[in-house]
Structure 1
Amino acid sequence: MISKSKYFFLLTFSSLMMAFGVYFFKFPNNFTFGGITGLAILVAKFSPFTAAGFNLAANIILLIIGAVFLGRKFGFATAYCSLLLSFSLWGLERVYPMTAPLTDQPLLELIFAVALPSVGSAFLFNMGASSGGTDIIAMILKKYTRVNIGNALLVTDFFITLATFFVFDIRTGLFSVLGLLIRSTMIDGFIESLNLSKYFTVVTSNPKPICDFIKDDLHRGATIVLAQGAFSGKDKYMVLTALNRMQSVKLRNYVNEHDPKAFMLITNTSEIIGKGFHSI
């Protein structure tokens, strides 16, 4: 469980990372994939609003609607991140106006336009927060309807991206479609990477030293299961434990050094629910 100060810092850092990627790489290139910021680019083309200005107005309205319809379930973290992201974009527009892309390499800028917000979103989702926008609509739909939220948001993003071909040009539209395809898989990949842990099954004849090392040095728990060797017929023990990546290296080295005859199965996992890991 992280401290409140670290939690607040990560919320702030993630939101600012998203703002940086959206403002410096997404807005100047008219990449329209992804929720309210994508819609803001289209609206800015045909209205007196700037992309950052429309994003701020839309998110404030959505926050009010979310507070009305969701009540206490509407978390502080989502409200904070949504406002910080919106005001950051609005502030950057005044401090550093962008009249053209930073470089003449649209593919390079597309990578940053996708990667920075995706990493920021992954951090937020991993902490049980979001940046607001269409996520607020999804939360309301989930509460009051049986609509498949994931599919609904995907269809919405698709039509916003499709409009790029008509509002701007084919080149921008193709880049936006590519960004949508990459973004749809990148966030899940980042979340899985953040949560990646190692699940150990150690088959040994002498489990006590290994369990003592896990408890005393790694400060983790373990489970011992009595087993029998299929070939030898002798009693064996399986030591089961889950560790983060740094701890897993230490345990692997310890077992290799102190019990070279032990048999280890090491599995990657990103879903561990329990004390010391994630809570439901």
Structure 2
Amino acid sequence: MHMSFVTELKKILFILIGAVLGAISLNYFLIPANVYASGFTGIAQLLAGVLRNTPVPASTGILLFILNIPVAILGWMKVGKSFTFYSIVSVAATTFSLEIIPIKVISEDILLNAVFGGVIAAVGIGFTLKWGASTGGMDIIAMVLSRMKDRPIGSYFFTLNAAIILTAGLLYGWEKALYTLVTLYVTSRVIDVIHTRHEKLTAMIITKKGKEIQQAVHQKMVRGITKIPAKGGFTDEDKELLIIVVTRYELYDLEQAIKEVDPHAFTNIVNTTGIFGFFRQD
């Protein structure tokens, strides 16, 4: 119980750190330079810019929170309460941080703003994903889609980000759109280093407690597991090789399930570039 509480506390802490880093990225680098983040954050930035000179101006933070309300409801119903709760915490903390951290010009160089804004945002997103939450928005939609149908989720991210780049170009000039592209590229590369940008991953688990791990995994997610008999090279002990394909959002839950049952299990995580067939069930 104590370890579980400490783990949850660390999870909340890293989600809050990720939210603060996201707000710093926006208010110190991206917003002053009119360069845009990816996903719902970029949409919130664009809307804030459009509404700035209207009778109903709204900040990026408030708009980000409003955009995430219907998505959070969808996630709560379709994905799971734990994942959605921590994602809501992340969005709420980001909104609060955006409101209390002032918008400040650190550099007049738009390329520096695009690169450093992208790097800082990616570190924040990477921390959040690594601890089993998300930054809301498209992440929750991707989870819903992965639970319903095994569609290529990357195409949805690409379409949304392409729309953000085109809109930025139309509103503020194509130079801003190109710098937004730089930010999106830098963000994706840094997230890949900290966590993973790949939508699907294959875990190969070598353990002496195959049945117990299978039960623990199935308590947390609906994924098929293939079991292959294996032998230890040095000990000649009988073991099992479990092969399971998961989404990047389930990687934290998988890691926790394995640690709880068999801390000595050897797990190899590899990127899955494509699959054939429906991977939810055996």
Q: Which range, TM-score by smaller chain?
A: 0.5 to 0.7
Say if 1:13 and 1:174 are closer, same or farther in 2 by CA, change over 3 A: same
For 1:3, what is the secondary structure of its paired residue? helix
What count of residue pairs does the alignment treat as equivalent? 202
Pairing 1:75-114 to 2, within 5 Å after superposition: 75-92=84-101, 96=102, 98=103, 101-114=105-118
Please say if residues 56 and 90 of structure 1, whose CA atoms lie closer than 8 Å, have aligned partners that are also in contact: no
| Preserved contact between residue 78 and residue 129 of structure 1 (Cα < 8 Å) | yes
Could you tell me which residue of structure 2 aligns to residue 275 of structure 1?
263
Following superposition of structure 1 onto structure 2, how do residues 44-193 of structure 1 map, counting pairs within 5 Å?
44-47=48-51, 48-72=57-81, 74-92=83-101, 96=102, 98=103, 101-191=105-195
Distance in 2, Cα, partners of 1:83 & 1:122:
17
CA RMSD of aligned residues (A): 2.9
Contact 1:122–1:190, Cα closer than 8 Å, also in 2: yes
Q: 1:277 to 1:169 in 2, by over 3 A?
A: farther
Q: Name the amino acid aligned to 1:84.
A: A
Q: CA deviation at 1:188?
A: 0.7
Uncovered stretches (5+) of structure 2, i.e. residues with no partner: 52-56, 197-231, 237-254, 270-282
Q: CA deviation at 1:40?
A: 1.3
Question: Do the aligned partners of residues 28 and 80 (structure 1) sit closer, same or farther apart at CA in structure 2, a change above 3 Å counting?
Answer: same
Q: Does 1:26 find its partner at 2:35?
A: no
Aligned 8 A contact 2:84 2:140 in 1: no
Deviates more, 1:111-120 or 1:82-91: 82-91
Cα offsets for 1:199-234 (capped at 9, x unmatched): xxxxxxxxxxxxxxxxxxxxxxxx76289xxxxxxx
Q: Percent identity?
A: 25
- Tell me if structure 1 keeps the 8 A contact 2:115–2:186: no
Q: Which runs of 5+ in 1 are unaligned?
A: 193-222, 228-271
Shift of 1:59: 2.0
CA spacing shift, 1:226–1:49, aligned 2, 3 Å: closer
| TM-score in terms of structure 2 length | 0.63
Q: Find the aligned partners of 1:276 and 1:15 in 2 and give their Cα distance.
A: 33
Counterpart in the other structure of 1:37 = 41
